[in-house]
A and B are shown apart, each in its own frame.
Chain A
């Protein structure tokens, strides 16, 4: 499996779309936003630069986990690469587990780059305990998005997966308040945001940065989504790899 993960990571790191949308975008927008809003105080009473660090790293990780799964996976099914793998000793379950592991690995560049930019250029400083909570929470929290991407990749052909991934990625990011704070949204939009997995994902981060314990509600919502989307991904994968 390390052999397979290596290949998956290598190919994404050579993919221009991944590098632009996932690795470069979050850092660039983070620095732009900080430039405009730098001195202000964000919702929850924390500095805008720390708040935006969570927002943009959340966007980057969400984007990475969907982009490294949906379209490549749909392409592999259509192009015959999946069949090529199926006639090797590689078990089916290793294929999807590797995809998931690689997706998680590929969220790290955007996550860590935004954190690094925050610390180095915006003087964001957190207690060691806060970092120890924040990094794994924002990392493991991408699981439902990776599962969503894999489900999409298993269900539709690449030319449909492409727009579906884009809509899912930006839809979840915008509606979940990663680009504009949820508190400024109308109440209906706020209710939608709270029901999506992207808001509680970032909200956990915002609370940790503010030195607070994240609300249980957030944890429950994201766990529920992880289970639901994980099940969807497994079912869709079984359907996609079923023998005729």
Chain B
């Protein structure tokens, strides 16, 4: 069953098209990153997914229901991009209040432990640091044990250490077979914390796959070696190779399938390969290439 299904979803604010025919599905149990530059339509898509914003066209389903219904059934928990807490209330009061709004919540202790808040239960929200506030907001998002957890740039205000702790908490939560969708413009976050990356730009999906596939899609790897006087003919026919360049006795191949290309190079040709060097395009290059093209 799909946790999320966007079918031809559009959203315009006057003349400005924020989301332009978005199609995507996310299977239940996956952790998916929505990656894109600022203004790509990530937050608008997330707000539509949560029923906070109505699409101008198309249809969104969450576990087979309209977003409002899914939210009302307690299937969804979310950490929005910004949001303050009630300053006069303590961490425990806030978390316990929100968990009681859901039909089948997590245990209070379990939430506090997972969000790393066990030492802060009695502290009022007005006395929390920025990173601590984010942890409380994460706790509110998971409090109801939602099957779908949505995080909109959750680590934007965190330092490096808080970030690592945050992603560890997220993985703990996802480990129970739950679905997580998070938006980010940090490439390495998408790479390290998701099993699928959906790249959006200008309100459309421009790439969709594992981080490795996305890298490959944007040119993948470069294989170079010393060719010397040997003939270059046939190199462009090797599996995975998309371009061949020969200059000054050195051959440079661009490939989308590194293993196949290298294997074929050794086993499928009679060339004498020396000084073999492989460089991988990183996700950053892939991301820039993808979002520039669109």
Contacts and interface: CB of A to CB of B under 8 A. Distances in A.
Interface of A: 3-4, 7, 10-12, 14-15, 76, 79-81, 83-84, 86-91, 243-244
B76 A244 contact: no
Interface stretch (B50-58, B159-167, B218-226, B244-252): B50-58
B28 to A, nearest CB: 19
Contact of A80 (B71, B83, B103): B83
B102 A83 contact: no
Contacts of B50: 87
A10 B90 CA distance: 10
A14 B80 contact: no
A89 B88 contact: no
Given A11-B89, A14-B88, A84 B100 contact: no
A88 B102 contact: yes
Given A4-B101, A7-B89, A79-B83, 6 more contacts: A4-B97, A10-B93, A80-B84, A81-B85, A89-B72, A244-B54
A89 B73 contact: yes
B88 A83 contact: no
18 contacts: A3-B97, A4-B101, A7-B93, A10-B93, A11-B88, A14-B88, A79-B83, A80-B80, A80-B82, A81-B84, A81-B85, A81-B86, A83-B80, A84-B98, A88-B144, A89-B72, A89-B102, A244-B53
Contact of B71 (A7, A10, A87, A244): A87
A83 to B, nearest CB: 6
Contact of B89 (A10, A80, A84, A90): A10
A151 B141 CA distance: 29
Interface residues of B, number: 32
A89 B71 contact: yes
Nearest to A15: B88
Interface of B: 13, 47, 50-54, 71-74, 76-78, 80, 82-86, 88-89, 93, 97-98, 100-103, 137, 140, 144
Contacts of A90: 101
A81 B71 CA distance: 16
B70 to A, nearest CB: 10
Given A10-B89, A11-B88, A244-B53, A3 B80 contact: no
A83 B52 contact: yes
Given A10-B89, A79-B83, A243-B53, A87 B77 contact: yes
Given A87-B76, A88-B71, A89-B103, A81 B97 contact: no
A153 B95 CA distance: 25
